[in-house]
Amino acid sequence: ERTVNTSKLVEACRTVDPLKECCRPVCRPAIMDAALQISGRQMMINNDNMAGEMNHTDYLNDCKGVVYSYLSKQLSSEVANKAFRILSACKVNKVCPLTFKEPSDVIAVCKNVAAPSPTCCSSLNTYIAETQQKILITNKQAIICATQFGSMLRGGGVMTNVYELCDVDLKDFSIQAFGVQGLLLFPLLEFC
């Protein structure tokens, strides 16, 4: 507690906003700062560099665990649980967990379309459906995945917004797009 400004740490994590924390984090940097302060102090104490000694990353991870433990004791269990869930969700939602195979079939039939094309839309929908069945993803991840896939199509030369032409929306990327079915991707993505 002498090494870290604990009041600043607790205040930063007392109220974690689920929308803002992932974009403009307040709690995560406070946790990292506290862990860095503790790990830096620990590294100075153990500066003998003996064989088998943990590296700085190991110290940092251990110190983050200490910070989480400290917060869980300082905050009510409900507040701590909510904060840690939000922090975990931010980490999970930053990337698309889907692995896209090369969409060469989709690119081949969609490359020069300017109007809705049954062949293009069928190929696009089949590709998305096959990819979607691999893993359950969150709605935020679905948006990231749609953007990533749109970039792949753009990189392959598909310049038309096939999401708009084929009426692809968020539910097509996420089988759990409950409550946002019908959210069209083209206003959000502007086709990358």
For residue 7, the model assigns a pLDDT of 93
> Would 150 be classed as within a structural domain?
yes
The answer, yes or no, to whether residue 189 has pLDDT greater than 50, is: no
Radius of gyration of the chain (CA): 23
Structural contact between residues 191 and 161, judged by C-beta atoms closer than 8 angstroms: yes
Q: At which of 92, 116, 134 does a domain end? A: 92
Question: Higher-confidence residue: 45 or 80?
Answer: 80
pLDDT, tens digit, 9 for 90 and up, residues 18-64: 778 877 889 999 999 999 998 876 555 555 554 455 566 777 889 99
For residue 108, the model assigns a pLDDT of 95
Question: Higher-confidence residue: 44 or 178?
Answer: 44
Per-residue HEC secondary structure of 54-95 comes to: CCHHHHHHHHHHHHHHHHHHHCCHHHHHHHHHHHHHHHHCCC
Q: Quote the CA–CA distance of 85 and 16 in Å, as a whole number.
A: 10
Q: At which of 31, 66, 92 does a domain end? A: 92
> Would 1 be classed as within a structural domain?
no
Cα 96 to Cα 10, 21, 147, 160, 182: the distances in Å are: 31, 19, 9, 23, 21
Same domain, 128 and 88: no
For residue 46, the model assigns a pLDDT of 55
| 44 membership: H or E segment, kind and range | helix 27-45
Average pLDDT, the chain: 80
Same domain, 88 and 28: yes
Same domain, 86 and 114: no
Q: CB count, 10 Å around CB of 146?
A: 25
The answer, yes or no, to whether residue 174 has pLDDT greater than 90, is: no
Same domain, 110 and 185: yes
Q: Residue 167: CA atoms inside 13 Å, Cβ hemisphere, count?
A: 6
Same domain, 22 and 80: yes
